[in-house]
Amino acid sequence: DVKVTQSSRYLVKRTGEKVFLECVQDMDHENMFWYRQDPGLGLRLIYFSYDVKMKEKGDIPEGYSVSREKKERFSLILESASTNQTSMYLCASSPGTGGESNSYEQYFGPGTRLTVT
């Protein structure tokens, strides 16, 4: 079974702190994603990566950065946490593109509920 793990289920940080959210997948997937989920807004893509050391901005990258030094690990960084970054953060992975890649589902981690006070 594909497994995507996230470093914390719950996290409380103070305004201005640097925050690291870690995500690891064990299925050798090329693609990895970070979303934030807010009530009424669904899931919004922050950043994604389709290869090691590659990253692309999603729809809401402001205030965030990412790092992918190894294929299995994708980190989300909040350089200076703010209260409007209080949210549920979901990491996902999927196989690479090509072939029937339209049908490749994304596999999600359990999520990290971050509260910034």
Residues that bind another protein in the complex, under the rule CB under 8 A: 9, 31, 33, 35, 40-45, 48-50, 56, 58, 88, 90, 92, 94-97, 101-111, 113
DSSP single-letter state for residue 103: G
Nearest to 47 by CA among 57, 60, 38, 37: 57
Nearer to another protein, 80 or 97 (CB): 97
Question: Least separation, in Å, of the C-beta of 16 and another protein?
Answer: 27
Question: Least separation, in Å, of the C-beta of 80 and another protein?
Answer: 26
Phi/psi zone of residue 69: left (φ > 0), alpha (ψ -120 to 50 degrees), beta? alpha
DSSP string, 62-77: TTEEEEEEETTEEEEE
Nearer to another protein, 15 or 65 (CB): 65
Question: Least separation, in Å, of the C-beta of 32 and another protein?
Answer: 9
Nearer to another protein, 51 or 79 (CB): 51
Q: What gap in Å lies between CA 49 and CA 11, rounded to an integer?
A: 24
Question: Least separation, in Å, of the C-beta of 117 and another protein?
Answer: 21
